[in-house]
Amino acid sequence: ANRIDPAPRAAVAAYAAGFCLFDAEVQDTSELLSKIRNKYVKEAAECAKQVAFLEAPRPVLDPDLRTSQKFDYEDTFGLLSSTCRVLELPLGASLSELHRKTLEGDPPMCPALLASFARCRKVPPTWGLLATRRKDHIKQFRRAPEYVAWINAYLAFVRAVIRPLVPDPRGIVVQCPPTLRCQFADAVRPTGRRHRDDDYEGHQGEEINFWVPLTRVWGNNSLHVESSPAAGDFRPLELDVGQFYRFHGGQCEHYTNANDTGSTRVSLDFRVIPRSLWLDLFGQRIGEYPCELID
């Protein structure tokens, strides 16, 4: 057990046992060993802080903050236009026609778009090579000015539209970057399996999920989700551009199907936690996703 695992209660006990054994067995009082011991003393203290935090009384998330609901918004932030730019969409073209892009020239700037092509097409060798180097591709993408503009538009949207829906006086913790997904019109496989977010490590119970399509969605180009945990009443969300959906993704199962609609779906999804409820046990992450603090 250690503080990265994380299992802070078990880690505190393990550190205490280790110090007892160390002090009983090690007679060497050299400066090097003292530095090593002090390093672990500091780690043990961090674990103790986490245990105290976990055991302290905490407010409970208001269930109304993540009931399933559709919302409208006005895109004054450039969310759609900045997404079009990171996907290198030609001027005047529609995101729903993204699958018609020719496989010529340099690989796509956006790793999500390249992954979508690689799942559905026989891509050029240079594209395929970059698809196998996803971490390098992501680093390269995040240095691009188009990416910076996209993140700025996303955070402006979160501050203006999402933050008021989570009235925590300390602010919110929001996934950043959001997950950008492209499900092509001719995708013969779904983009993921049926799941709840809590099935995966690193999630905590107070998360609120938001799903923002940037194309019109219906039927099998949309997300299928149950209305409440264990309800089993799955239905595809029907939303237009300028709408988004909030739900309890930690416990509500959700999934996608193969897209047979003839229309590509581009969407953003992300998670939010009220800051007063955030445990921060995973290195400023929500699940596997980096996050930002917003007052």
pTM: 0.82
Kindly tell me if the per-residue pLDDT of 4 is higher than 70: no
Q: Do the beta carbons of residue 181 and residue 112 sit within 8 Å?
A: yes
Kindly tell me if the per-residue pLDDT of 105 is higher than 90: yes
Q: Residue 111 phi/psi, 5° resolution?
A: -60, -35
Q: Do the beta carbons of residue 126 and residue 108 sit within 8 Å?
A: no
Q: What is the rounded (10 degree) CA torsion for 201, 10, 55, 283?
A: -40
Q: Give the integer Cα–Cα distance in Å for 243 and 24.
A: 64
Position 46 confidence tier, pLDDT thresholds 50, 70, 90: confident
Give helix 31-55 / helix 8-25 axis angle, nearest 10°. 150
More confident residue, 239 or 198: 239
Over the stretch 75-100, which tens digit does the pLDDT of each residue have? 999 999 999 999 999 888 899 999 99
Over the stretch 128-178, which tens digit does the pLDDT of each residue have? 999 999 999 999 999 999 999 999 999 999 999 999 999 999 999 999 999
Kindly tell me if the per-residue pLDDT of 66 is higher than 50: yes
Question: CA dist 257 to 52, 188, 192, 247, 260, Å?
Answer: 44, 9, 8, 19, 9
Q: Give the integer Cα–Cα distance in Å for 215 and 233.
A: 24
